[in-house]
Amino acid sequence: MFKGNRLKGVSNPFKSSSSTSPATSPVLKSSESKLHNPFKSSPASRQDSTFKAVSQTFKSADSKLFDPRDIQINGVNGRIVCSAFDFSQSLLAVATDTGDIHVFGQKQTDVVFNFGSKIPISHLKFVKGIYLVAIDSKDSIMIISLYSKTLLTTVFPPSKITCVECDPSLDWIILGLQSGTIVIYDVDRDVMSDISIENLQKSYYFPKERLSPVISINWNPRDVGTLLISYGHVTVTYSLLDMEVVKDFIYKLPPYAPGGDASARDIDRERIPRVMQSLYHPNSLHILTVHEDNSLVFWDANTGKLIGARTLFDTDVNLPQNDAELMNFASDTSNITNVSWICQNNAEHTALIIATRSERDNTQGLTIIELGGTPLYSITSYDQMKKYYFNPKQQKISLLVDKSKLLKVMPIPKASPYFGGCHDPTFILLLFESGELETMLYPSASFTSKSSLFPPCLSWATPLVSNSMALSVPSKLWLGMMSAAAVKEGIVKGGSPAKKPMRTQTTRSALLTGHSNGSVRICDASSKELDDNAMFEINIGRILNRAYNISIGEMSLAPETLELAVASELGGEVVLFKFEVNKFYNDKNVTDNLNLKLSRFSINDINDTIIDVRDRAPHNVKQGFMPNCIVNAKQGTVTALKNSNIGFVGIAYSTGTVLLLDRRGPAVIYMENLRNISRIRSLQVTSIEFSIMEYGEDGYSSILMLCGTDVGELLIYKILPERNGRFCVEFIEATRTNNDSPIIKIEAFAKESGYSCEANILKMQELSKGIPIPGYVITTARNDVRLTKLGRSKVSHKTFKYPAVASSLMYIPGSSERKTLMPYFGVLLSNGGVKVYSIPDVREVKAMQLPTQIHSKYIRESSFLKNGDIYTRTNTFKSILLSVVNDATNVGSNPRDQTPDTLYNPNLKIPYRPQVNSLQWARGTVYCTPAQLDMILGGERRAESKYKESLIARGTLTLKPKGDKNGIEEPYKKPIRHTSPRTGAYGVFKNVSRTVETTWDSLETQMNDYATAMGQSMNDMMEETGKDIVKGSLGI
């Protein structure tokens, strides 16, 4: 019936991905040819009675082949509640609600700390690259060494901690307490400093007000000797050298000034809106205070003068208005929750990233106010400064839709660890209450779903996984793909993973995760065994051009042809992909017309079942899983999906419709509702499989589509070639195979050899020879497993005490010769039990218990694989890969016996901390060195550190500024030199600044840019500075 010629016309899906195809077939051949046939040795192998004897002998020897163990854990154990990034070591730390702290580095580097406490961590801070400070919500301060990966000590502060400040180059962490007091802890020496700062608001400003906790502490970005401290009503700059307040900033609203809240009831009185955050401009010359009424108030840090007060959309809000106008302000109800003052590589170019949340409908957004280049402080009037803050270059709003509460905005700096971690970020990491992470790109304000930027474990939280599965892939093809597409672009580059021995296998386990944002990610499930890791990623949101209903439901990957089918969980659309070279690759010149066409695409405008979406391939990706078409049958959600290795895709819908699509075309070649076929009122198809074998006593083999239903019925179809080269589908029979429960897996194997009858190109090509392959079909339902001879009768069956979760034919090395693969059948039960059967007699070889529980919520997300691996999702953010194969060569590969990964690299330097600019210094600011700070806080007899980490970290500090690329460390160039004649006072200044320029660096690097604009005012100012300098020098 299959004539050779006709099948030759069937395109081989391998061909288009030429680089990978040659590798596939040999692997398969070898794996199949190596299959040991346990039956051949027995002359009467076809008789069931003889199996008994054979399998009895198996039992003793074969049971030793199996022993369950962990292979790899993917993800994090629990919801992420806190995160921190260290620039100098390039490490990312996250803490989960289960009390785990993960520190991630490059590739698979992942060290987990758990100190037995389940109290969630509220603050994570890196100190000098070598210490990780974790503070939990019960105020225990844990100091962890990243070098030795141990807990060094735990400290308890005298009262509840309300805010924490530390610096990547200093030993000290500053702790603001509920009582309003500030205490300082020496991380390096494990002592509390004798120095503490009293509640300044209580002592000096509002003694009668209720006791305010410390709201916010910031180190001056240019001077370690000054702190910016906020209490409820007052913000101050505080000098640690002089132990006194330098300037205070109190935001007083006169009557009828709206502030950030025009609807305030007491608007007719003077008010002081409460402070919620305070920040330094990266040049340290201006201060921003953020208030609970949503006012953003800018101040001159030197003079304490209020430059201007604004809200997100209005300006001059600190000035009194007449009543009528106030009405206009009340429209926006979003509350500011957090502000980050980020800067570009040149720290004078800044932007504000403001997180907002509406109390009314929980709408959240991020407003980016692009301030642009800061006007030169010394020559700009307050009015001009106000304009700078009131008329930004750009303002845009990015909405966070369908997200839980935003907990943290974390810029990932590219230029230095300073400026509060806000120095030149491209990626802004957002942490939500649900434990999810989102990545916003700056400055575009778009969101990226790309997970390869982050450690693979975090893929489970970026965003939530809606479905996951594992499947067997041919080793050689897979490893080739992995090394070709190895990830090189990660943000986290530190640490180095410990090497794990690689298991020698003909199939490896691939992990597929589908996410709520429409992403599907494909990676190796035991990636710690590989040097090169890749994560293939597609997003159906992009293909469907839709923001809603894109969460991923069913997924199916054809591992030999590298075709992928993905269903949207709620929409029911199926998108088909194929791994290939991108025909639409065009990194630069995408025409506006194409862009417009792509941007206006809407699936609702098209009535066809098959929608060609090849041109929606991402134009900047050269090779990968490229979109082919969308199948939009409008038959409800997808209940089963199978992309076979021979180009057919079976899709079953919740309405009971079964659809068969031939990817050559593509064309729908069959669509029928189950109601017209089922004999026992099956409502839905729950599993689909394609096999090539003999049906009944046909005398030849055919391509069969086997569908299992929700009530244990098996539907059998033949896919037959037609004269025109197309295929047609013929329904053969519906037969009740299993007890009344959904069939979760269908597999077929050849009677003679025991090898799988799963359809692939090789077997399809051999159909033309007309050789019949008689075989058995195993159907696994929740309650039982059946072995059936198609077109005949049920051969045998097994029932279980607990529901079956996953099953598979396994081909594992036998006990005698290492390289001979023996077929077995394994079933995973919901209680974590595993049963292994010999085939075809289905006799129990081994029963064992996995060291992991099967989570009832994620029962569907469990897979049993051909190499004896078991995949199961253990919670929202974590999955585990285990193996039931007792492989003596892999002793020590259990993650629990592993040497941990390395985190700390002593060769990485901590950059030089930016300094106060020369003008500031000249104006009388007393500069404080880190050594002086240590002296002040630690006292003259500061003890030596008991940690070896101390010495190592000291070696990584950059003590002298270098003229380098960052623009912060250029030697001071005094612009005045290029300008007009000097006054006498200037002479003094000149001498001083000459010495200055060799040892001190300037931060006002733009001075030159502005120099041309400078006129008389500059000279006047310099005169004043000259006078100040004398004062300053006397003061020192």
Partner 1 sequence: MSGNGKNYDSIMKILLIGDSGVGKSCLLVRFVEDKFSPSFITTIGIDFKIKTVDINGKKVKLQLWDTAGQERFRTITTAYYRGAMGIILVYDVTDERTFTNIKQWFKTVNDHANDDAQLLLVGNKSDMDTRLVTYEQGEALAKELGLPFVESSAKDDQNVNEIFFTLARLIQDKIDSNKLSDAKNTNDGNVNIKSSSSSMSKANCC
Work out whether 545 is an interface residue with partner 1 (CB under 8 A).
yes
Q: Please identify, using beta-carbon distances, which residue of 145 and 632 lies nearer to partner 1.
A: 632
Q: Please identify, using beta-carbon distances, which residue of 320 and 851 lies nearer to partner 1.
A: 320
- Contacts with partner 1 by CB under 8 A: the residue count is 44
Query: Exposed/middle/buried for 333, CB within 10 Å: 0-12, 13-18, 19+?
Result: middle
Work out whether 329 is an interface residue with partner 1 (CB under 8 A).
yes
Smallest CA-to-CA distance from 1017 within 309, 300, 375, 247 is with 375
Work out whether 399 is an interface residue with partner 1 (CB under 8 A).
yes
CA–CA separation, 61 vs 2, rounded Å?
43
Q: Which of 316, 531, 730, 740 binds partner 1 (CB under 8 A)?
A: 316
Q: Which of 53, 61, 119, 596 binds partner 1 (CB under 8 A)?
A: 596
Q: Record the tokens describing residue 157, joined without a space.
A: 């502060």
Span interacting with partner 1, options 129-137, 278-286, 539-547, 608-616, rule CB under 8 A:
539-547
Q: Which of 64, 313, 614, 955 binds partner 1 (CB under 8 A)?
A: 313
Work out whether 547 is an interface residue with partner 1 (CB under 8 A).
yes
Q: Please identify, using beta-carbon distances, which residue of 206 and 447 lies nearer to partner 1.
A: 447
Q: What is the number of other CB atoms lying within 10 angstroms of the CB of residue 392?
A: 15
Q: Which residues are within 8 A (CB) of 103 and not within 5 positions of it... i.e. 6 or more apart?
A: 91, 92, 93, 110, 111, 113, 132, 146, 495, 903
Q: Record the tokens describing residue 713, joined without a space.
A: 């019925």
Q: Which helix (H) or strand (E) holds 768?
A: none
Q: Which of 42, 45, 63, 395 binds partner 1 (CB under 8 A)?
A: 395
CA–CA separation, 59 vs 65, rounded Å?
10
Q: Which of 455, 541, 823, 868 binds partner 1 (CB under 8 A)?
A: 541
CA–CA separation, 389 vs 369, rounded Å?
9
Work out whether 907 is an interface residue with partner 1 (CB under 8 A).
no
Return left, alpha or beta for 13; rule: phi > 0 is left, psi -120 to 50 is alpha, else beta: alpha
Q: Bridge-partner residues for 730, per DSSP? A: 718
CA–CA separation, 113 vs 144, rounded Å?
9
Question: Which CA distances in Å does 223 have to 167, 220, 877, 921, 1007?
Answer: 11, 5, 42, 10, 20
CA–CA separation, 600 vs 409, rounded Å?
32
Q: Which of 5, 116, 207, 324 binds partner 1 (CB under 8 A)?
A: 324
CB of 540 to partner 1, least distance (A): 11
Work out whether 899 is an interface residue with partner 1 (CB under 8 A).
no
Question: Which CA distances in Å does 320 have to 85, 256, 258?
Answer: 43, 5, 7
CB of 745 to partner 1, least distance (A): 36
Work out whether 332 is an interface residue with partner 1 (CB under 8 A).
yes
Q: Record the tokens describing residue 572, joined without a space.
A: 């029911």
Span interacting with partner 1, options 309-317, 341-349, 897-905, 1001-1009, rule CB under 8 A:
309-317
H helix and E strand count, the chain: 16, 57
Question: Which CA distances in Å does 868 have to 141, 614, 748, 820?
Answer: 44, 37, 17, 15
Q: Bridge-partner residues for 658, per DSSP? A: 652, 672
Q: Please identify, using beta-carbon distances, which residue of 550 and 845 lies nearer to partner 1.
A: 550
Q: Please identify, using beta-carbon distances, which residue of 360 and 896 lies nearer to partner 1.
A: 360
Torsion on CA atoms 1028, 1030, 1034, 1036, rounded to nearest 10: 60
CB of 310 to partner 1, least distance (A): 12
Work out whether 902 is an interface residue with partner 1 (CB under 8 A).
no
CB of 829 to partner 1, least distance (A): 43
Span interacting with partner 1, options 87-95, 312-320, 519-527, 996-1004, rule CB under 8 A:
312-320
Q: Which of 5, 49, 599, 724 binds partner 1 (CB under 8 A)?
A: 599
Three-class SS string for 427-447? Answer: EEEEEECCCCEEEEECCCCCE
Q: Which of 208, 210, 588, 600 binds partner 1 (CB under 8 A)?
A: 600
Q: Please identify, using beta-carbon distances, which residue of 176 and 365 lies nearer to partner 1.
A: 365
CB of 329 to partner 1, least distance (A): 7
Work out whether 263 is an interface residue with partner 1 (CB under 8 A).
no
Q: Which of 11, 153, 358, 999 binds partner 1 (CB under 8 A)?
A: 358
CA–CA separation, 18 vs 813, rounded Å?
31
CB of 372 to partner 1, least distance (A): 15
Work out whether 397 is an interface residue with partner 1 (CB under 8 A).
yes
Q: Bridge-partner residues for 298, per DSSP? A: 288, 308
Q: Please identify, using beta-carbon distances, which residue of 44 and 547 lies nearer to partner 1.
A: 547
Q: Please identify, using beta-carbon distances, which residue of 432 and 1000 lies nearer to partner 1.
A: 432
Work out whether 33 is an interface residue with partner 1 (CB under 8 A).
no
Work out whether 401 is an interface residue with partner 1 (CB under 8 A).
yes
Segments of 301-383 assigned E as strands? 306-310, 334-343, 349-358, 364-373
Smallest CA-to-CA distance from 949 within 105, 125, 150 is with 150
Whose structure tokens read 């010149």?
Answer: 589
Span interacting with partner 1, options 56-64, 189-197, 322-330, 615-623, rule CB under 8 A:
322-330
Span interacting with partner 1, options 133-141, 154-162, 319-327, 953-961, rule CB under 8 A:
319-327
200 residue type, one letter: L
Q: What share of the chain is helix, strand, coil (3-state, %, to 5)?
A: 20, 40, 40
CB of 433 to partner 1, least distance (A): 19
Span interacting with partner 1, options 48-56, 395-403, 421-429, 794-802, rule CB under 8 A:
395-403
Q: What angle do CA 975, 373, 261 make, to 5 degrees?
A: 135
Work out whether 606 is an interface residue with partner 1 (CB under 8 A).
no
Q: Which of 398, 507, 561, 890 binds partner 1 (CB under 8 A)?
A: 398
CB of 402 to partner 1, least distance (A): 9
Q: Record the tokens describing residue 108, joined without a space.
A: 């698979």
Q: Please identify, using beta-carbon distances, which residue of 444 and 849 lies nearer to partner 1.
A: 444
CB of 394 to partner 1, least distance (A): 7
Smallest CA-to-CA distance from 157 within 132, 130, 138 is with 138
Work out the end-to-end distance of the chain between its first and last CA atoms, rounded to an integer number of angstroms: 101
Q: Please identify, using beta-carbon distances, which residue of 127 and 428 lies nearer to partner 1.
A: 428
Q: Which of 381, 595, 849, 980 binds partner 1 (CB under 8 A)?
A: 595
Work out whether 517 is an interface residue with partner 1 (CB under 8 A).
no
Work out whether 394 is an interface residue with partner 1 (CB under 8 A).
yes
Q: Record the tokens describing residue 909, joined without a space.
A: 């330097």
Work out whether 381 is an interface residue with partner 1 (CB under 8 A).
no
DSSP 676: G
Work out whether 328 is an interface residue with partner 1 (CB under 8 A).
yes
Q: What is the number of other CB atoms lying within 10 angstroms of the CB of residue 105?
A: 26
Phi, psi for residue 720 in degrees, rounded to 5: -115, 140
What x/- string results for residues 945 through 974 when contact with partner 1 is judged by CB under 8 A?
------------------------------
CB of 399 to partner 1, least distance (A): 5
Q: Record the tokens describing residue 926, joined without a space.
A: 């007393």
292 residue type, one letter: E
CA–CA separation, 428 vs 489, rounded Å?
16
Work out whether 320 is an interface residue with partner 1 (CB under 8 A).
yes
Q: Please identify, using beta-carbon distances, which residue of 597 and 681 lies nearer to partner 1.
A: 597
Q: Which helix (H) or strand (E) holds 639?
A: strand 638-643
Work out whether 546 is an interface residue with partner 1 (CB under 8 A).
yes
CB of 387 to partner 1, least distance (A): 11
Contact residues: partner 1, CB under 8 A? 313-314, 316, 319-322, 324-325, 328-329, 331-334, 358, 360-361, 363, 365, 367, 391, 394-399, 401, 444-446, 541-542, 545-547, 592, 595-596, 599-600, 602, 605
